[in-house]
Amino acid sequence: MADNVDRRGFMKQSIAASAGGAILLSPAGAGQSDAPDYKVEIGSKAVVAQGKIGDLKISRMLLGGNLLTHYAHSRDLKYVYNLTAHYNTEAKIHETMALAEAHGINALVIHNPPGIIPMLMRYRHRHQGKMQWIVCPVAAVEPGMKAYSEQVRDLVDNGIDAIYLWGVHADRLIAQGKIDLVREAVEIAKEHGVPSGVGAHDLRVVVECEKHKIANDFYIKTFHHHKYPTAPRPDELKGPTAEVPGYWCKDPAETIEVMSKVAKPWIAFKVMAAGAIDPRSAFRYVFENGADHTLAGMFDFEIAEDVKIVNEVLANLKNRSRAWYS
């Protein structure tokens, strides 16, 4: 694949030479060529235990990308999106990733709205960051898979480490009975030589993928308990749940049961129900009940404490209900 190598080199040189390529989500983060030269020695030298997905060694805690793309789940608090966008400029995002690396987090999970991949590449080139990227393409998953295939190819050429089918896409495809398109999406990433996963909010995605023997390498599935003030009431969950705010895991007990039979690595996300659950409670719950990794969206000032909590939870884990698959 000489053409891919040449293309990859060209892209890296082009981005390294340019201070532009603004994060289109946030004018405040655009083109900051005079950003401080953050080094990946910031803060402590904490270590987070690791598992393995494919050939990748992945820390048990991963950095979530939603706050970095400013897509903050804030329920009915309309100002939070703009607050996040003004705080997480490109310089602050780079500092956040450097802090995460310094505390033992070695992988970032993120989707790819316009400008995000160039921003991540500037981090690698300017600050020598080693953070691994697990990315879900946002391109349409549809018959022919033209746009999706092209986006996967571009992502791999730009140095991403793993790809997964976006949960938004997977939920819709399974609801429409389009399991063959899920299979194609998984296979496209595998053909490019990177670990290939499936994301899901809806547990039926996992059930159908296992039933139809989809050859994905890992799952990224929502998981959190309902012991928090804004959790859905039992009567709300019996009706049309699309209109019920405040949760991302409809039935935690059923999720535990289904995932107990899945022999693939599982990255749990939305573990704090978008900030409604205390980190210690959230991390203990997901690791005790089977997750192999936890994904956490964090501002820079939350990283040290969250890593400390995860390390304590893992060191004192006694009642895990599922074998480790990573």
Give 313: exposed, middle or buried? Use CB within 10 Å, 0-12, 13-18, 19+. buried
Q: Tokens 């694949």 appear where?
A: 1
Q: pLDDT tens across 4-46, in order?
A: 434 344 333 333 333 333 333 333 344 444 444 445 455 566 7
Average pLDDT for 171-189: 97
pLDDT at 16: 36
Q: pLDDT tens across 100-113, in order?
A: 999 999 999 998 88
Residue 37 is encoded by which pair of tokens? 């030269």
Tell me the longest C-alpha to C-alpha distance in the chain. 58
Give 78: exposed, middle or buried? Use CB within 10 Å, 0-12, 13-18, 19+. exposed
Q: pLDDT tens across 73-125, in order?
A: 777 778 888 888 899 899 999 999 999 999 999 999 998 888 899 999 999 99
Give 43: exposed, middle or buried? Use CB within 10 Å, 0-12, 13-18, 19+. middle
pLDDT at 218: 98
Average pLDDT for 290-304: 95
pLDDT at 250: 86
* pLDDT greater than 90 at residue 65: no
What does the DSSP 8-state code read for residue 222? E
Residue 57 is encoded by which pair of tokens? 């060694």
pLDDT at 41: 52
Average pLDDT, the chain: 85
pLDDT confidence bin for 248, thresholds 50/70/90:
confident
Q: pLDDT tens across 183-197, in order?
A: 999 999 999 999 999
More confident residue, 92 or 245: 92
pLDDT at 74: 73
Residue 118 is encoded by which pair of tokens? 């160039």
More confident residue, 183 or 237: 183
pLDDT confidence bin for 213, thresholds 50/70/90:
very high
pLDDT at 240: 54
pLDDT at 231: 82
The answer to whether the CB of 172 falls within 8 A of the CB of 198 is: no
* pLDDT greater than 60 at residue 241: no
How would you write 260-315 as a 3-class SS string? CCCCCCEEEECCCCCCCCCHHHHHHHHHHCCCCEEEECCCHHHHHHHHHHHHHHHH
Domains of the chain in sequence order: 40-314 (3.20.20.100)
pLDDT confidence bin for 234, thresholds 50/70/90:
confident
More confident residue, 256 or 9: 256
* Rounded Cα–Cα distance for residues 103 and 308 (Å): 9
The percentage of the chain sitting over the pLDDT mark of 70, rounded to a whole number, equals 83
What does the DSSP 8-state code read for residue 233? P
* Rounded Cα–Cα distance for residues 218 and 130 (Å): 22
pLDDT at 21: 32
pLDDT at 57: 97
φ/ψ of residue 198, rounded to 5 = -130, 130
pLDDT at 106: 95
